[in-house]
Structure 1
Amino acid sequence: MPKETSKAKADRLKKLIAVLRKTYPNARVELNYSNPLELLVATILSAQCTDKRVNIVTAQLFKKYRSAADYANADLAELEQDIKSTGFYRNKARTLKALGQQLVERHRGEVPNSMEQLTKLPGVGRKTANVLLGNAFGINAGIVVDTHVMRLAQRLGLTTQKDPEKIEHDLMQLVPQKLWTDFAHWLIWHGRRRCIARKPDCANCEVKQLCPQIGVKK
């Protein structure tokens, strides 16, 4: 199979975006939150945990911990129990407490809205920062690369990389910046609903005519 030219890939991506936009017009982050701090906490809790489980936990957690100071002053053992069902709860509790302390000490209890400041916070890497910036602040600073985005970007032939930051770089070169947040949502929703990891539903896939199915066992 001949290598796809840059122009051909760009044309295919435009069509791909159009189909995904039509298929998932309401795509959004599936974590429940009402402010940047809640989204930050929920995103940290979502590591190795489903959004559904996180939403169950945060329904009560957010009533109890309403500010960065609440996390900073939390009893660690109590916080561990409050988030236990999300898994890795000891590490997550320590991270949330340290996060609260740093927000209070350095940011007056507010969540900063820049990549540089966010990635200095405990437990916050580029992926989490991109989630915050794109969804809580409406800033397209990068593209969220989670397990779904990584898998679909490879299957769709949009990258040959395996490192999340390199995948993000490749996608940022292809996708218009104004669509960076939406594009991640579309891939995540498609990855959860159609292009699942082990047995993707290629027969009924909305983008099958645009997908080279790289790495998919046939």
Structure 2
Amino acid sequence: MNAAKRRAIFERLHAANPNPTTELEYDTPFQLLIAVLLSAQATDVGVNKATRRLFPVAPTADKMLALGVAGLEEYIKTIGLYRTKAKNAIETCRILTEQYDGEVPQTREQLEALPGVGRKTANVVLNTAFGQPTMAVDTHIFRVANRTRLAPGKDVREVEDKLVKFIPKEYMHDAHHWLILHGRYVCKARKPDCEHCVIADLCEYPAKPV
């Protein structure tokens, strides 16, 4: 796919949704970090249901730490892998409280040193909370990048690196949200909705309807 076509794709995604954002509900960088940590192998809808109860009680790292693992589990037990996530979240809260005065650090290295925080989670927080031009590649973005041929790659890191390289700078901040929403609601895994796709004529998916 050439540069002109890539630019046209993001021009259209921007026109259709000028201010995209995450569907996770949060008020602070800390709450976003916890929500993303909880969202692994879970839906945003399911995470939001849990955090609507959790965040009013434990909106900050020190208050969540005070819940302890067992206390946190009670709020998130509807989410998959909740026991492991509770342990990671509480230990993360301990580190944030002891080392960062309860604030979320703003570098990839510091974020990835937190329990349960990998590269994808760090990218989401850096982008959404702090406005950094990062690209978090989940299953939706991996599928869209490969299917459309926007940035094909054999693994998530290859796709991430290509997207960072190919996406025009002025669209980089919002690109993560556009692509994830496009994959979630239009370019779906089993049956892509090509009929209602705003970039269908730019897409290079070989199996799309003519």
Is TM-score (shorter-chain normalized) higher than 0.5?
Answer: yes
- TM (normalized to structure 2)? 0.93
Aligned with residue 12 of structure 2, among 15, 19, 39: 19
What is the CA distance between 1:179 and its match in structure 2?
Answer: 2.4
How do 1:164-183 residues align onto structure 2 when only pairs under 5 Å count?
A: 164-183=156-175
Query: Could you tell me which residue of structure 2 aligns to residue 188 of structure 1?
Result: 180
- State yes or no: 1:143 paired with 2:135: yes
Query: Could you tell me which residue of structure 2 aligns to residue 57 of structure 1?
Result: 50
**More deviation, 192-201/169-178:** 169-178
Aligned with residue 25 of structure 2, among 7, 29, 32: 32
| Unpaired runs of at least 5, structure 1 | none
- State yes or no: 1:132 paired with 2:125: yes
Letter in 2 for 1:84: K
Query: Could you tell me which residue of structure 2 aligns to residue 114 of structure 1?
Result: 107
What is the CA distance between 1:215 and its match in structure 2?
Answer: 6.5
**More deviation, 121-130/70-79:** 70-79
Contact 1:31 1:51 in 2 (8 A): yes
Cα distance in structure 2, aligned partners of 1:33 and 1:102: 20
What SS does the aligned partner of 1:95 have? helix
Cα distance in structure 1, aligned partners of 2:170 and 2:197: 26
Query: Could you tell me which residue of structure 1 aligns to residue 3 of structure 2?
Result: 10
Query: Could you tell me which residue of structure 2 aligns to residue 89 of structure 1?
Result: 82
How do 1:200-215 residues align onto structure 2 when only pairs under 5 Å count?
A: 200-214=192-206
Residue 128 and residue 178 in structure 1: after superposition, are their counterparts in 2 closer, same or farther (change >3 A)?
farther
Aligned with residue 65 of structure 2, among 69, 72, 78: 72
| Unpaired runs of at least 5, structure 2 | none
What SS does the aligned partner of 1:85 have? coil
What SS does the aligned partner of 1:82 have? helix
- TM (normalized to structure 1)? 0.90
Letter in 1 for 2:84: N
Aligned with residue 100 of structure 1, among 93, 99, 102: 93
**More deviation, 177-186/148-157:** 177-186
Cα distance in structure 2, aligned partners of 1:98 and 1:148: 29
Letter in 2 for 1:175: I
RMSD: 1.7
Query: Could you tell me which residue of structure 2 aligns to residue 156 of structure 1?
Result: 148
What is the CA distance between 1:159 and its match in structure 2?
Answer: 2.7
